[in-house]
Structure 1
């Protein structure tokens, strides 16, 4: 089954969701993919790039080869939803019949004074690598955030830079979402790598000298911010219906509930699946959404979007990892896979992501 009616499809964003949606739709439709990057931003491996283990990821044009996709290296700055137009930062305008909004998410600073000015975000992984590599002497590095991104950054950086004193600072418990076995393993790895853990310490200010927190000051020569993510604001600014976090509200076919000619996928969308709930941000949910939407736009499916969780996984340095089994609604099962086996499982999943994009 495939669609025979030619459509002008514009896809904003070439992350996991946007790129897979563009490739699916580009089988039989002309797709304009708007993204300023030359290469895929492989976000699930940004912690490796921060530690100097990253490499050049595939060019977007190469990943789009074989599809009717034009890659416009520009940014969308304004949406005219009534006129079906997208204004780009190069001054040009694109018309569309169907718009796919996949601008994803970015680091959320939560208006903490000094955070944006004095901390490195995951998006600045290459800058962070150069800062640590070129330092005159090792110092103290604080990673703010006790979730998956913070844990992966803290363990990777501690292992890659053993001379640096690494700290992880969390508003709650480090790894608090994982099962007791999962949390215990994370703490063992942090201890082995010499990472100091500060829990129940909400950061209230960042300066060049360190952090001010609700549990007291914490010295740091370098601060890395991995507290949480927020959706790109363009959806709300344009007038798409959004939730209280700024994620676009969509129906069971990933269409905007306020503008059905706009599909929203990935971190930008508040996707609610019956029996599962509203999906969390992340590669694990973005990639399936993009794959589904590509099939929908190409006429290869008309079914509602369906999804259930299977696992969560973490890299814990080069030689360790955690594979946490979860139920379909993302609640924790007691079973975990740790150590080298956990690391290999995580690596296999990440490799599978890249293979799916190819």
Structure 2
């Protein structure tokens, strides 16, 4: 890069992944002639790791993105990207503005997909938006007064956390978890057994090995032809991503995630760096999945790639190794399944109060990291292509 040229970098998305990329990039390019702009529709940072708490009626701390970025030199634009012109290297925003980029970090993340089952979009709630989660919590309070029913669809980590949180906060409700597989199927037997013990204690009913065929305003039809009464239905299964990349002619998979090379650059447009849930990221053991661990590690690696390219240095491929699956089970219990690098469970796990403290440290780390990363290197590092990256989230 010519020292007289300002290198413009635009980051799309200010979730966990986009915020890590932005704050790390600001820190690592402080002495370079770089202009960084972060684009996000909301000025508030959403703690996706805690949306089940909001849904259960808890108030979270308010994290203002401009405040988190204060002193970093980053330009924040409260807007949504509506188009990317890859030839001109511009991003069009919904406020009519156009941003030029030399490099683009695409971190638009993912959301729960309600389109696959009839009625889910119209009648089921999701945890995609904190405002919706808050309104869901208000409806919970209303139906709890009548000892109503709640159905949580999906037995993954989000579904488990939501079912436990709701049942603990509203013991008068009948909470049912519907899952095609055993809840926590990705965990080891002992960790999964602990989840079931907590569910029994909290009164969470389970319908396992069945799928939802249709969602109605006050019921859920199962593929077994059974019908569950459901005053509120929470949908936590299925993933969709923004169509922006595919609409802009960037190479994507069938889901719309950007196809990346080993350094996390777009295979069709190498000036675009895709990270987190928005990217197809492959490792020797398989394709990575969308978690905070993936997002943080991929963001850190993308920053390392960009700074090395700006310095004219060689870049190395991304490597990640998973090491835990932290799951809260209400405010009084949790389980942490420790894993191998490919996310398969080891025999080690943590439960009870120790797991609660562990999970809380994981959940509160990102906002703190955004502030600290402006002045100190944190232990999420770009891999040198050898040993697996060990993310801290």
Pairwise TM-score range, normalised by the shorter structure? over 0.9
Q: Tell me the residue number matched to 2:382.
A: none
What SS does structure 2 have at the residue aligned with 1:168? Answer: strand
2:163 corresponds to 1:158: no
RMSD after superposition: 1.7
- Match for 1:174 among 180, 183, 186? 183
What SS does structure 2 have at the residue aligned with 1:245? Answer: coil
What SS does structure 1 have at the residue aligned with 2:182? Answer: coil
Please report how far the alpha carbon of residue 53 of structure 1 lies from its aligned counterpart in structure 2 after TM superposition.
1.9
Give the TM-score of the pair, scaled to structure 1: 0.95
What SS does structure 2 have at the residue aligned with 1:120? Answer: coil
Q: Tell me the residue number matched to 1:353.
A: 366
Q: Tell me the residue number matched to 1:7.
A: 7
Please report how far the alpha carbon of residue 288 of structure 1 lies from its aligned counterpart in structure 2 after TM superposition.
1.5
- Match for 2:299 among 282, 290, 295? 290
Please report how far the alpha carbon of residue 31 of structure 1 lies from its aligned counterpart in structure 2 after TM superposition.
0.9
2:269 corresponds to 1:259: yes
Please report how far the alpha carbon of residue 12 of structure 1 lies from its aligned counterpart in structure 2 after TM superposition.
0.5
Q: Is the 8 A contact 1:255 1:261 kept in 2?
A: yes
Structure 1: stretches of 5+ with no match in the other structure = none
2:253 corresponds to 1:243: yes
Please report how far the alpha carbon of residue 252 of structure 1 lies from its aligned counterpart in structure 2 after TM superposition.
1.8
Please report how far the alpha carbon of residue 65 of structure 1 lies from its aligned counterpart in structure 2 after TM superposition.
1.9
In 1: Cα distance, 2:350 partner to 2:261 partner = 36
Q: Tell me the residue number matched to 2:336.
A: 323
Structure 2: stretches of 5+ with no match in the other structure = 372-393
Q: Is the 8 A contact 2:105 2:273 kept in 1?
A: yes
Q: Is the 8 A contact 1:74 1:90 kept in 2?
A: yes
Please report how far the alpha carbon of residue 3 of structure 1 lies from its aligned counterpart in structure 2 after TM superposition.
9.6
2:347 corresponds to 1:334: yes
Q: Which moved more, 1:51-60 or 1:112-121?
A: 51-60
Q: Is the 8 A contact 2:115 2:121 kept in 1?
A: no
In 2: Cα distance, 1:132 partner to 1:148 partner = 21
What SS does structure 2 have at the residue aligned with 1:14? Answer: coil
- Match for 1:74 among 75, 79, 83? 79
Q: Tell me the residue number matched to 2:221.
A: 212
Q: Tell me the residue number matched to 2:98.
A: 93
Give the TM-score of the pair, scaled to structure 2: 0.87
- Number of residues of Structure 1 aligned to a counterpart in Structure 2: 356
Q: Structure 1 pair 78/125, CA: closer, same or farther in 2 (3 Å)?
A: same
Please report how far the alpha carbon of residue 128 of structure 1 lies from its aligned counterpart in structure 2 after TM superposition.
0.8
Q: Is the 8 A contact 1:16 1:357 kept in 2?
A: no
In 1: Cα distance, 2:116 partner to 2:339 partner = 33
Q: Is the 8 A contact 1:311 1:323 kept in 2?
A: yes
In 2: Cα distance, 1:298 partner to 1:37 partner = 28
